[in-house]
Structure 1
Amino acid sequence: MSLPDLAWLALAAYAAHILEEFVLDWRNWARAVIGLPVEWTDFYVTNAVVVVLGFAQAELAPRFALGPLTYAALMLINATFFHVLPFARTKGRYSPGLSTAILFFYPLGIAMFWQAHNEGRLSLGVAIAAFAAGALLMAYPVVMLKLKNRPYFRQG
């Protein structure tokens, strides 16, 4: 399977992941377990952006490997830091999204890097850039959530 094929599968996997998080009430879990001051509107907007990025990376995959590799890194970071580690730290409290993170994000994320390597499109610099960009994409909404309630950023 080519990197573009895997990129499209990654978008489908993210859609399944969003559905699992929504149905199993990720918002209340995130508030209780990781202390994020998140509302459902934050969840909707953030995940709409992730879906748009998913379409963009899949479309760019034939010409721009950094796009899908950043998406793969985002999936791996999300799975690890927002699902697996909190599950382990809470001694087994289920994190909504954990199942799709394990079943889809890890295999697809790794496969995308492996395939980019096989296609000669992966270098150490590209891998570092992908993980740096993926980490920034993961951190951005979290930072925005933390900032929005500070007096300087309140608009009311």
Structure 2
Amino acid sequence: MTLTALAWLGMMAYAFHILEEYMLDWRDWARNELKLPVEWNDFYVTNGIVVALGIAQAMLAAELPLAALGFAGLMLINGILMHIVPFARTGRFSPGVFTAVVMFLPLGTATFWTALSNNLVSPAVAVLGLALGGLTLAFPIVMLNIKTKPFFRQA
């Protein structure tokens, strides 16, 4: 399978992931388990951006493999750190854990494997893809946690 095909499948998996999170009330779970000060509007905007990034990375995958690896890194890190680990730690179901295990882990791994085994990227670029995925996940979490600080309030 090509990197482009895997990138589009990653976007499809993220669409299912967003649906799972929304339908199973990720917001309340994240507030209770992760202590994130998240509202549904935050969820909508963040996931709208993820969809835009997902489409862009799939369209760029053949010419810019790092884009596909950044999105695959996002899937892997999000799946593991935001769903699998909290579920394993608490035993409480995490909305999104099903798609994380069934879709994110296999597709994310396959994306990195394909890029590396076909010499589309160096190991250093693969690590950069993971870092990019981590930064992409961290950015909205940081924004959620600083938006109420006096320096950032616009009232």
**1:112 is aligned to 2:141:** no
Secondary structure of the equivalent of 1:50? helix
Q: What's the CA shift string for 1:43-77, capped at 9, x where partnerless?
A: 00000000000000000011110000010000000
Instruction: Work out the CA distance in 2 between the residues paired with 1:134 and 1:19.
Output: 20
**1:47 is aligned to 2:24:** no
Instruction: Work out the CA distance in 2 between the residues paired with 1:118 and 1:81.
Output: 26
**1:132 is aligned to 2:131:** yes
Contact 1:3/1:112, CA 8 A, preserved across alignment:
yes
Deviation at 1:127, TM superposition (A): 1.2
Secondary structure of the equivalent of 1:88? helix
1:73-152 mapped onto 2 (5 Å cutoff): 73-90=73-90, 92-152=91-151
Deviation at 1:107, TM superposition (A): 0.1
Instruction: Work out the CA distance in 2 between the residues paired with 1:83 and 1:145.
Output: 18
Deviation at 1:124, TM superposition (A): 1.6
Structure 2 residues without counterparts, runs of 5 or longer: none
AA aligned opposite 1:118: S
Instruction: Work out the CA distance in 2 between the residues paired with 1:76 and 1:122.
Output: 18
Q: Provide TM-score, normalisation by structure 2.
A: 0.98
1:10-49 mapped onto 2 (5 Å cutoff): 10-49=10-49
Instruction: Work out the CA distance in 1 between the residues paired with 2:50 and 2:71.
Output: 9
Contact 2:10/2:72, CA 8 A, preserved across alignment:
yes
Q: Provide TM-score, normalisation by structure 1.
A: 0.98
Contact 1:8/1:58, CA 8 A, preserved across alignment:
yes
Q: What's the CA shift string for 1:91-126, capped at 9, x where partnerless?
A: x20000000000000000000011112221121210
Greater alpha carbon shift after TM alignment, 118-127 vs 12-21: 118-127
Instruction: Work out the CA distance in 2 between the residues paired with 1:134 and 1:84.
Output: 17
Secondary structure of the equivalent of 1:76? helix
Contact 2:116/2:126, CA 8 A, preserved across alignment:
no
Contact 1:113/1:122, CA 8 A, preserved across alignment:
no
Instruction: Work out the CA distance in 1 between the residues paired with 2:114 and 2:154.
Output: 46
Secondary structure of the equivalent of 1:122? coil
Instruction: Work out the CA distance in 1 between the residues paired with 2:76 and 2:42.
Output: 21
Greater alpha carbon shift after TM alignment, 122-131 vs 62-71: 122-131
Instruction: Work out the CA distance in 2 between the residues paired with 1:128 and 1:5.
Output: 21
Instruction: Work out the CA distance in 1 between the residues paired with 2:53 and 2:153.
Output: 28
C-alpha RMSD over aligned residues: 0.6
Structure 1 residues without counterparts, runs of 5 or longer: none
